[in-house]
Amino acid sequence: MEPMASAREKNIKIRKRPTQKRSAERVDRILLYAARIVEEVGIEEFSTNEISRRSGVTIGSIYHFFPNKEAIIHELCVRWLDKITDKYIEFERLRLNGEDTELYWGSLVDSLLSGYRETPAVHAVTRAIAIWPDIHELDVQYDETALVRVGSYLRETGVTASKREMRRLSKVVLNMLHHLIMLAIDSSEKDAKKIRDDLVSSLQRLTERYQ
C-alpha cells in the first residue's frame, strides 16, 4: 500500500491533460477504476498498482498523466465540482418562473440529485474536499460561485433581504441541498423520494418566510 501524503507535500494536479481521444479515454478509464476502488477501500488505502491491475492501464501510462495517487483524487474532485456546476447551468437554462416555488425548487433539487448520483465515489470525493487543504480551496471557490447562484434563485422566488441576510440564506440553502441530497443517495428509493420531497417543501417554506 502506498502512503497517503499530505496534499501540500506533493503536486496533486494532473500532469498532462489529454488532447487526443485515445488519451482522454485512457484517463477516463483510470478515473473510473480509481473511483470504484476508492468506494471499496477508502482514499487512504487505494493504490495505483490496483488501478493498473483492474483497469488494464499500465503503471507507466497512469504516471504519464498523474504524478501520484493524490492527483487522481484531485481530478475526481475537480470533475465532481464541474459536474455540479453544469447541473446549476442546466437548471438555469430551463428559465422557470420563480412564482411556482414547488416546480422551481423541485427542478433544482432533481438536477443536483442527478449530478450527485452520476458522480463516482461521491462520498470519498466530498471527504477529500473536506480534509485536504489544496482541494478545499477549490471547494471554497466553488461555494462562492454557488452562493451567488443560490442568491439569484432566492430573489427569483420573491425573497427580499439585505445583502448580508441574502448571503446567510444562500448558505442555509446550499447546506440543505448538499446534506439532504447526500442523505437521499444513501437511502432506499422510497426513502430517497421522501427526502427529496421534504427538501423541496423546506425550501418552499423558507421562501415563503422571507418573501
* pLDDT per residue rounded down to tens, the chain (211 residues): 444 444 445 667 777 777 789 999 999 999 999 999 988 888 888 899 999 999 999 999 999 999 998 899 889 989 999 999 999 999 999 988 888 999 999 999 999 999 999 988 888 888 888 877 777 788 888 999 999 999 999 999 999 999 999 999 999 999 999 999 999 999 999 999 999 999 999 999 999 999 9
- pTM of the predicted model as reported, rounded to 2 decimal places: 0.85
The whole-angstrom separation of Cα 175 and Cα 181 is 10
CA angle (189, 35, 126) in 5-degree steps: 70
Output the pLDDT for position 17. 79
Amino acid at 119: T
Output the pLDDT for position 1. 46
Give the list of residues 6+ apart from residue 65 with CB closer than 8 angstroms, or none: 14, 15, 16, 18, 23, 26, 27, 30
- Across 12-49, b (16+ Cβ under 10 Å) vs e yields bebeeeeeeeeeeebbebbbbbbbbbbeeeebeebebe
